Amino acid sequence: MKASEAQALTIGIDLGGTKIAAALVDSGGRILASARKPTRPEKGPEAIVADIATLSASVSAQAEGRPIIGVGVGVAGQVDPATGAVFSAPNLRWKNFPFQEHLETALHKPVSVLNDVQSATFAEWIHGAGRGVADLVCIFAGTGVGGGVVAQGQLVRGAAGSAGEVGHMTVSLAGPLCRCGNHGCVEAFAGGWAIAKRAQEAIRADPDAGAVLLRLAGGDIQRVTAAIVARALNRADPLAKSIVKETGEALGAGAASIVNGFNPALLILGGGVVEGLPELVGIVEETIRRRALPAAAERLKIVRPQLGTHAGAIGAATWVRIGLPPRPFLPS
Amino acid sequence: MKASEAQALTIGIDLGGTKIAAALVDSGGRILASARKPTRPEKGPEAIVADIATLSASVSAQAEGRPIIGVGVGVAGQVDPATGAVFSAPNLRWKNFPFQEHLETALHKPVSVLNDVQSATFAEWIHGAGRGVADLVCIFAGTGVGGGVVAQGQLVRGAAGSAGEVGHMTVSLAGPLCRCGNHGCVEAFAGGWAIAKRAQEAIRADPDAGAVLLRLAGGDIQRVTAAIVARALNRADPLAKSIVKETGEALGAGAASIVNGFNPALLILGGGVVEGLPELVGIVEETIRRRALPAAAERLKIVRPQLGTHAGAIGAATWVRIGLPPRPFLPS
């Protein structure tokens, strides 16, 4: 890297359904300045483009004269890898919005748009827990379950920009209904919303068994969340234990499918649900060892992410700096 | 391509548990000569290397003076992408055999070794149903269920050479036992052996419902195979219908997981089970449309393979000609 390139900065934007986070990032993935705003999807996509311009200006003002060579944006939606248009972003209520084009007009800088979880995966690969590994998979279990894949030294974006949707792999043909409309997805077991829902159903089915969970939620079954399950688990509550075991086994079965399908050397397992229920990591690991093919599982390492909630913005900033376009090898 | 390169030929070897097939292949993927031998795993790996040398000499003799620039070998096992050593090939009873090294010594030519299903996938990509598509997945359902993945213009081999094992993705947490030891794999529903096993179990559970199947098998329940199920289906037998529906839905759920995980533009669906039960294709397609995320499924095409049983040898021959090593992008 030339000295001037090393000096240059990029801006990373993490655009989610509830907030827009901006970060001024250096070549080492370090955040030099940050800013955020609530997302206002009801104002339409142009208002979000304007908000991103405001946030970019705000962090740019802290560049201390260093050049800013581009803006990367990670968005919670499916992004066309060829154009940076957003096919679909349900949380933002967008369909087929030429996002990258609008951003370039507003920002007067090179812009790259990619999916937010792919962006976080890219960050963990280049600057986090996956440094130097050519084949890895990230799984982030939070309210939803998302993921990203690096295969043979390339971030896999997919034909329609939606590669890595590991939360919507089916692990139980007739399993619980998922938010996506499918049944038995990993997310329908391991998403924060699904843990809460299954806990509430279990309490209704057997109030005696659910007594500890209900008490921790102040007697209000609607307030039984994944966090309440974590608290009950700390008190060795048998129902919480069984819910966490089922959650880990479903997440582990999904992870085993990924391990068999992609054969990564590294699985990076994180997200709010995993932070809150660290017991899941052991169950997932044990389930992978039991379910995945030995050849794939033997050489697999499982680690936690290193960049936390800033991964999306760091990844987007890093993507616009060094993210290479796919290089298809298509002989004539 | 230079004229001399276009003139040059390569040899492809498809090494399975029962036979070794060799083909002399030109730059267009056409087979100019072929030869085969039964596999004799009991003689040990050196005898197989010697048999491959004999077969190579046999097809080489038909080159009519054109240069033969390499030998590609697709083997039913996990191959180290870095060295061409075979980590594990259960059908051959091999563990950690430096296959490529032994072959180069015996053949005095450049040799490339890869997994046989990855090899067939490579053939369909370069010369078959996947020409010109940068992101595709192959699923071959035969006795077992295997697969292969091309992502962003690269054949995905995996850290331990086992990428694409889509037959061993879990679709039913507590489902039937698979040959791999896991429960509820796609193969435990859609492999030829699994269809036969489930049909036999259904006949035992309800002999009246199983009457047509049993009659077609000459009254011997052990002779109820996937082919018998196909014959009963042609007579509109309700039990055969229900087995095929269940098979297609499990295969479709696995395919939907792959579609969500990799987001390919094309799914190539083939193998003996699909040839014998073409009704599966429609069920798989319908199941994918129902289960996969719309963004991923909308843009997906589903087609049949074009190269048939020669795909493995053609792919191996093509791999040694143009297969590029992974080009990891790992910034320092």
Q: Look at residue B102 and tell me whether its pLDDT is greater than 60.
A: yes
State the pairing for strand pair A86-89/B68-75. Answer: unpaired
Q: If you ran DSSP here, which 8-state letter would residue B166 be given?
A: G
- Residue B292's identity, in one-letter code, is A
Decide if A285 contacts A300 (C-beta within 8 A): no
Containing H/E element for B175?
none
* DSSP 8-state secondary structure symbol assigned to residue A111: E
Nearby residues of B204 by Cβ (< 8 Å), 6 or more positions away? B210, B221
CA-nearest residue to A293 within chain B is B180
Q: Is the pLDDT of residue B64 over 90?
A: yes
Rounded to whole angstroms, the Cα distance separating B3 from B13 reads: 25
CA nearest A136: which of A149, A147, A127, A126?
A: A149
Give yes or no for a contact between A149 and A121, defined as CB atoms under 8 angstroms apart: yes
The residues near B244 (Cβ < 8 Å, ≥ 6 apart) are B229, B233, B277, B279, B280, B283
pLDDT in tens, A273-329: 999 999 999 999 999 999 999 889 998 999 999 999 999 999 999 999 997 554 444
| Closest residue on chain A to B175 (Cα) | A172
Chain A residue at shortest CA distance from B257 = A169
Give ∠ CA A199-A241-A140 in degrees, rounded to 5.
75
Distance from CA of B163 to the nearest CA of A (A): 5
Strand partners, B74: B14, B114
Chain B residues in contact with A292 by the CB 8 A cut-off are 168, 182
Are A260 and B165 an interchain contact pair (Cβ–Cβ within 8 Å)?
yes
| Residue B68: closest CA among B76, B77, B78, B58 | B58
Contacts of B251 (CB under 8 A, 6+ apart): B139, B141, B145, B186, B189, B190, B280, B283, B284, B287
Q: How far is A96 from chain B (nearest CA, A)?
A: 11
pTM, two decimals, is 0.93
Distances in whole angstroms, Cα of residue B163 to Cα of each of A143, A262, A263, B30, B147: 29, 5, 5, 27, 8
In tens digits, what is the pLDDT along chain A, a chain of 332 residues? 566 778 999 999 999 999 999 999 999 999 999 999 999 999 999 999 999 999 999 999 999 999 999 999 999 999 999 999 999 898 899 999 999 999 999 999 999 999 999 999 999 999 999 999 999 999 999 999 999 999 999 999 999 999 999 999 999 999 999 999 999 999 999 999 999 999 999 999 999 999 999 999 999 999 999 999 999 999 999 999 999 999 999 999 999 999 999 999 999 999 999 999 999 999 999 999 999 998 899 989 999 999 999 999 999 999 999 975 544 444 43
Alpha-carbon distance B193 to nearest alpha carbon in chain A (angstroms): 19
Record: contact B182-A256, CB cut-off 8 A: yes
d(CA B262, CA B259): 5
Half-sphere exposure of B43 (CA within 13 A, CB side): 10
Residues 101-140 of A with CB under 8 A from B: 126, 132, 134-135
- Which residue in A145, A291, A299, A327 has the most chain B C-beta atoms within 10 A of its own C-beta, making it the best mutation to test that interface? A291
pLDDT score of A212: 98
- Contact state of B331 with A324 under an 8 Å Cβ cutoff: no
B169 vs A153, A257, A295: nearest CB: A257
CA–CA distance, B170 with A288 (Å, rounded to integer): 11
In the β-sheet with B9-15, what is the strand arrangement from edge to edge?
A: B31-38, B19-25, B9-15, B68-75, B111-115
Distance between CA atoms of residues B227 and A236, nearest Å: 53
Helix, strand or coil for residue B14? strand
Residues of chain B in contact with residue A134, where contact means CB-CB under 8 angstroms, are 159, 326, 328, 330
Mutation target vs B (from A183, A329, A330, A332; most B CBs, 10 A cutoff): A329
The pLDDT of residue B52 is 98
ipTM summary value: 0.91
Residues of B whose CB is below 8 A from A263: 156-165
Cα dihedral B53/B58/B61/B66 (nearest 10): -60
Q: Which residues of chain B lie closer than 8 angstroms to A258, CB-CB? A: 261
Section B5-13 average pLDDT: 92
Instruction: Say how far apart CA A258 and CA B163 lie, in whole Å.
Output: 9
Counting Cβ atoms within 10 Å, is residue A42 exposed (0-12), middle (13-18) or buried (19+)? exposed
List, as ranges, residues 238-267 from B with C-beta within 8 Å of A: 249-250, 253-254, 256-258, 260-265
Distance from CA of A250 to the nearest CA of B (A): 7
- Residue A257 and residue A138: Cα distance in Å, rounded? 13
What amino acid occupies position A182?
Answer: N
Facing A173 at nearest CB: one of B126, B253, B265: B253
Q: Are B147 and B164 in contact (CB under 8 A)?
A: yes
Say which of A254, A296, A328 has its CB closest to residue B165: A296
Concatenated DSSP letters for A283-313? HHHHHHHHHS-HHHHHT-EEE--SSGGGHHH
Chain A neighbours among B 292-311 (CB < 8 Å)?
292-296, 298-300
Looking at residue B3, its pLDDT comes to 64
Predicted local confidence at residue A295, as pLDDT: 85
Q: How far apart are CA A268 and CA A121, in angstroms?
A: 9
Task: Give B33: exposed, middle or buried? Use CB within 10 Å, 0-12, 13-18, 19+.
Answer: middle
The residues pairing with B25 across neighbouring beta strands, listed in sequence order, are B10, B31
**CB neighbours of A76 closer than 8 A, spacing ≥ 6?**
A15, A16, A17, A89, A91, A92, A115, A116, A117
Average pLDDT, chain B: 94
Distance from CA of A219 to the nearest CA of B (A): 33
How far is B309 from A68, CA to CA, in rounded Å? 55
Please answer yes or no on whether B159 and A299 come within 8 Å at the CB atom.
Answer: yes
Backbone phi, psi, residue A119, to 5° = -65, -45
Chain A interface includes B218 (CB < 8 A) = no
- Cα A236 versus chain centre, distance: 30
From A218's Cα to the closest Cα of chain B, the distance in A is 34
Q: What is the pLDDT of residues B144-165, one digit of tens each?
A: 999 999 999 999 999 999 999 9
The answer to whether B187 faces chain A, any CB pair under 8 Å, is: no
